[in-house]
Structure 1
């Protein structure tokens, strides 16, 4: 991209790499919307108001004393036996949080007319790992898995933001 004319956002947004990065965002947004529907379509009526997606439905509704004491039924290896509704809620939260993170850094990159191809590649990597993490949340409830994925997402968003500032935010050859 020619940077001699300064920050040219309209020309930047016509770049096919930039378009593809935003397609990754929109695809993630569409999956987030689908999870929003699925979460409410197949969840229990009390799941939306419960507040804590890790508390089992039986403890929250059937046994108020256990719910007040904060005791959860734990199975083998101390993992929670959670409902399908809890799993969909966790997956939905992953999709929501990552959609907003990707929106933030893509907006920063686009308004700054930053990197094109590298950001597109990172956006699709971010998308792929978000889908994997959302599916993992449907199957496994473990904090080390969340830690790994969240460190990965943080690193990817820092990389996209760094590229936005490294290659963008120029006005006639100067940042001021």
Structure 2
């Protein structure tokens, strides 16, 4: 039998789960802000596109070069992982699914995201991204699976 939502959201582990999400959200917002403090213009100029020989459809998100480009990559990691974590935590909360296991997985997800974001600033490598992506995908699948196994 499912736990009532009011009882579920007052659980200590659920609270810590959402604190992990909020902490990730704060970090994402911080990097987002730092990008603009450092002077990133987020809107490519037509002249820059012409010089690079790129059309609008050929613009790349990754490997933009320089520190600001690496910071942009870290921001992309934080942005995408914040949305990934949000989606499975909402699913788990609405399902009144797992509490302690999801809390642990959320903090693991947070820790790997922080490491990955800082790795993006220092190292640009596809295989590193692939390894982190597999971890994130596995953790989000586990949280989603727990939501269905112990909730609804």
Offset, 1:81: 8.4
2: distance between equivalents of 1:62 and 1:100?
29
2:32 aligned with 1:49, yes or no?
A: no
2:149 aligned with 1:166, yes or no?
A: yes
2:112 aligned with 1:129, yes or no?
A: yes
Q: Indicate the structure (1 or 2) with the bigger Cα radius of gyration.
A: 1
For the structure 1 residues 81 and 69, does the alpha-carbon distance in structure 2 shift closer, same or farther, using more than 3 Å as the test? closer
TM-score between the two structures when normalised by the length of structure 2: 0.88
Structure-2 residue corresponding to 1:156: 139
Corresponding pairs, count: 144
Listed one character per residue, the Cα deviations across residues 102-158 of structure 1 (whole Å, up to 9, x for unaligned) are 000000000000000000000000000000000000001111110000011000000
Structure-2 residue corresponding to 1:22: 18
Contact 1:87 1:138 in 2 (8 A): yes
Offset, 1:9: 0.7
1: distance between equivalents of 2:95 and 2:49?
54
2:122 aligned with 1:139, yes or no?
A: yes
For the structure 1 residues 40 and 113, does the alpha-carbon distance in structure 2 shift closer, same or farther, using more than 3 Å as the test? same
TM-score between the two structures when normalised by the length of structure 1: 0.76
Moved over 2 A (4+): 60-63
Q: CA RMSD in A?
A: 2.1
Q: Which runs of no fewer than 5 residues in structure 1 stay unpaired?
A: 52-59, 71-79, 170-176
2: distance between equivalents of 1:93 and 1:69?
21
Listed one character per residue, the Cα deviations across residues 6-39 of structure 1 (whole Å, up to 9, x for unaligned) are 3411100000000000000000000000011001
1: distance between equivalents of 2:15 and 2:54?
51
